[in-house]
Structure 1
Amino acid sequence: MRKPYFTGWYFRATDLETNYSLSIIVGTHYSIEKHSSFIQIIDTTEKKTYYISYPSHYLKLNVNPFYIKCGKSIFTKDFMYLNIDTPRIQLHGLLTFDDLLDIKRTVTSPTIMGPFSFFNFMECYHHILSLHHFVNGVVTLNGKKHFFNQASGYIEADSGTSFPKDYVWLQCNTFNTNDIKFMCSFAHIPFLITSFNGLICVLNINGKEHRFATYNGSHVERYLINSSKVYMIIRKKHYRLVIKAHLKNGRSLISPQLGTMNRPVIEDLEGQISIQFFKNNALLFEDLGELCAIEISHKY
């Protein structure tokens, strides 16, 4: 019998000048009950999210070069062409991507999951395809045009059987004073007959990457997570990262559980985040980020 699975790609475009952010999730999922493809949409102007289901064969995927077609919409590392027309949502436009910034990769850490990427029994596999890139173009959502001019982009992918039952995920490239690219995920990870709270976090400051992850000795020293805020202290040897994030307009998205897209989680594209980065007790920098994406499914 075929094992339940899901695969999804997350494309985000954020323009701080217009205070607008748009996220598109395209993917496919399989369970005993259903096998279909989908596009899910969330932005900072609509008061709801949209989920469009397609027959499974409506999604076409090519790995190299990376290319996805779902319905009439196309997704690559160079552009995103949106052509969605339903009674509930009309979304059309073309966004181009330039100067993609990759994470550091090694033989033992080919993805952000490090050596955990080699195990074939993980519940969920996470990939960063672009930590940052420039986005240009225009989209029209339900009759309203949104322009992107050298805006900030981000692309990631997930695959497996289910999202973690408890997790928090944050992503922000729009900070006030520093050139910062940031992504962090803290989640409950089943592992064989046990489980642990796993951490993956990338902090790129002025082109220099700092990696905090369970597999390199980093750990979350203290945390407080609920439906409205996230507070974490992350430690790695002499370094300490303090994260405070607040949700403003969380909305319900659908996430995978045993190959079925039926589990609601909360995502906010308008969150605010503050970061303080210390070496020993010396503050190296601090900054405030706007339009932070925050996603929470928690029982912490």
Structure 2
Amino acid sequence: MHIQRRPFFYGWYFRCQSETDTIAVIPAVHISGEKSSSSIQILTERGVWNMEFPISEFKLSRKQMKMQIEKNCFSEKGIRLDIERAGIKIKGRLDFGPFAKPAFDIMGPFCCIPGMECRHSVYSMEHSVNGTIQIQGKDIRFSDARGYMEGDSGTSFPETYVWTQHFFRDGSLVFAAADIPILGVHFKGTIGIVRQKDKECRFATYLGASVVKMGENVLKIRQGRKTVLIRLREKEGSMLHAPCSGKMTRKICEYPSCQADYIFFCGKKKEKEILAARAAVEYEVKKKHNPA
């Protein structure tokens, strides 16, 4: 793999959820003028672990959708973890079923615009998960559980953003909104997919969607006569590392399993309401980030 010298990051996000447990696994590579390295972050409802590895231990095949960091392997077929270092022991394997892929790139035509700060991908809205991960001697078991996979690449995460993902009874959803800089101009962009019984409903800036409100506990998006109101009722979150100019110096807070309400309207008529007890939520809207 040819390693770029300009600031750059590339990472995948796997979320797996059973009836009792949730785990997020985030392998990534990050490159800046000062340092190049790779990392694996693991987040559960019990804690968070961040492990850094030399860039020489990172391998990636985008065509085959395979990533390897030291002994740890990631692909659309599953995850294999084998980490043992001072104070940390994480081992196990998760096998994935076929991916439920979006109808087309979540970024739409924005995927063709050069120089974007962050490009987002959704690889699977839902797939089955089976296997066991042992963290610090405790097993997290998944049997016919549910999984989601997305990815990000670019130079930095957005200054301000809201993101949420949830599995509901007969489907899954993901919504995100962010302040997006392009060529010195900033605008609030949004993307979202609700997948239910193999049917996809999409919200996106390129489809005419606009961000009506984006705050610490609320996200409201309007697209034509359709409106989605998301109320976030987070519990205690965990701090994750995030990229800023290719360096993992930024700290963000993610809630791996918390309450959220998703309310869908057509005009003024409420069409659907999803009350989530174990949604994933991540946001940064309180203040702007100052790079280290």
TM-score by length of 2: 0.94
SS of aligned partner of 1:130:
strand
Q: Deviations over 1:181-204 (max 9, x none)?
A: 111111110011211111011111
CA displacement at 1:232 relative to structure 2: 2.1
Q: Could you tell me which amino acid in structure 1 is paired with residue 136 of structure 2?
A: N
Native 8 Å contact 2:265 2:271 kept in 1: yes
* Distance (whole Å) between structure 2 residues aligned to residue 8 and residue 61 of structure 1: 10
In structure 1, which of residues 120, 131, 139 is the aligned counterpart of residue 133 of structure 2?
139
CA displacement at 1:3 relative to structure 2: 1.4
Which runs of structure 2 are paired with 1:25-104 in the superposition (5 Å)?
25-46=26-47, 49-104=48-103
CA displacement at 1:222 relative to structure 2: 2.7
SS of aligned partner of 1:248:
coil
Equivalence for 2:250? 263
Which runs of structure 2 are paired with 1:177-216 in the superposition (5 Å)?
178-216=169-207
Which runs of structure 2 are paired with 1:154-169 in the superposition (5 Å)?
154-169=148-163
SS of aligned partner of 2:12:
strand
Equivalence for 1:108? none
Native 8 Å contact 2:162 2:219 kept in 1: no
Equivalence for 1:149? 143
Native 8 Å contact 1:80 1:94 kept in 2: yes
Equivalence for 2:6? 3
CA displacement at 1:33 relative to structure 2: 1.2
Native 8 Å contact 2:190 2:204 kept in 1: yes
Q: Which ranges of structure 1 fall in alignment gaps of 5 or more residues?
A: 106-110
Q: Could you tell me which amino acid in structure 2 is paired with residue 8 of structure 1?
A: G
SS of aligned partner of 2:111:
helix
* Distance (whole Å) between structure 2 residues aligned to residue 207 and residue 21 of structure 1: 24
> Which range moved further: 199-208 or 24-33?
199-208
Equivalence for 2:106? 112
State how many pairs are aligned: 284
In structure 1, which of residues 163, 166, 170 is the aligned counterpart of residue 164 of structure 2?
170
Q: Could you tell me which amino acid in structure 1 is paired with residue 9 of structure 2?
A: F
Q: Which ranges of structure 2 fall in alignment gaps of 5 or more residues?
A: 288-292
Q: Is residue 217 from structure 1 mapped to residue 208 from structure 2 by the alignment?
A: yes
* Distance (whole Å) between structure 1 residues aligned to residue 99 and residue 5 of structure 2: 36
CA displacement at 1:208 relative to structure 2: 1.7
* Distance (whole Å) between structure 1 residues aligned to residue 199 and residue 218 of structure 2: 24
* Distance (whole Å) between structure 2 residues aligned to residue 258 and residue 10 of structure 1: 19
Q: Deviations over 1:121-161 (max 9, x none)?
A: 10000001111111011111100011101111011110001
* Distance (whole Å) between structure 2 residues aligned to residue 189 and residue 299 of structure 1: 16
SS of aligned partner of 2:98:
strand
Q: Deviations over 1:14-37 (max 9, x none)?
A: 11x22x100111011111110011
Native 8 Å contact 1:21 1:269 kept in 2: yes
TM-score by length of 1: 0.91
> Which range moved further: 20-29 or 278-287?
278-287
SS of aligned partner of 1:100:
coil
Q: Could you tell me which amino acid in structure 1 is paired with residue 231 of structure 2?
A: K
CA displacement at 1:290 relative to structure 2: 2.4
